[in-house]
Amino acid sequence: MTHIELKNLCKDFVLGNQVIHALKDVNLKIKRGEFVSVVGPSGSGKSTFLNMVGAIEKPSKGAMIIDKENIVDYDDRESSDFRREKIGFIFQTFNLLHDLTARENILIPTVPDGIPDHANKRAIKLLEQMDMADRASHKPMELSGGQQQRVAIARALINEPEIILADEPTGELDHKSGNTIIELMKKLNRSEKVTVILVTHDLKVAKMADRIILLDDGKVVLDKPSNRVNIKDLII
């Protein structure tokens, strides 16, 4: 079942007298529950692609259809509601608040709703899934980088989103911790039934996804199941 569909998606930026074509007629379908990695050289359009799916930026042309709705037509309020209800974001730099505990950081996305009781219970459950139950009262500076990223993942999942967008989630971690985080995301992808789109520069990390999309100069130049892709196919 198609969850996300991009139709002739284009994004242009104006820098002085120059027009930058960040995305050029991108056409893609992503099924519900897929784990997809997006790779490509710097400036290939990876971050712009992620921002389109997350309704952070609007395309210059084309359609962005999620659950049969074209989110390009959303106004600012509708886009904000869409992000809060449907999207979980995971960032390279964790973006945790240092004065809050791990549990409190996880609960941040629920604040507009007044932190209902079920959110507290879900936060504790997510910490247990991350093997972090004994770190619930620890603040970020008392946690390792891998542990901080686990908290960030739990925060992304607290509102039970349908889509997780992960922007270089292993970029600040050592190789072992990075692999652990990706394995954890794969496990949560299966158990939580969420669609995961992972942007990464690490080709070995990309291979851990179910499917790999390679962008170059704003265009999709490869789109295959990861088990049919060689690392050398991804080098541009």
Domains of the chain, each with CATH number or no CATH: 33-47+76-234 (3.40.50.300)
The confidence score (pLDDT) of residue 116 equals 67
**Taken in order 68, 73, 79, 81, is the CA torsion positive or negative?**
negative
Nearest of 172, 176, 147 to residue 93 by alpha carbon: 172
Adjacent-strand bridge partners of 80 = none
Q: pTM of the prediction?
A: 0.90
Distance of alpha carbon 91 from alpha carbon 112, whole angstroms: 21
pLDDT in tens, 20-69: 899 999 999 999 999 999 999 988 999 999 999 999 999 999 999 998 89
**φ and ψ at 192, to 5 degrees?**
-90, -10
Question: Is pLDDT of 113 > 70?
Answer: no
Q: Over range 161-174, report the average pLDDT.
A: 89
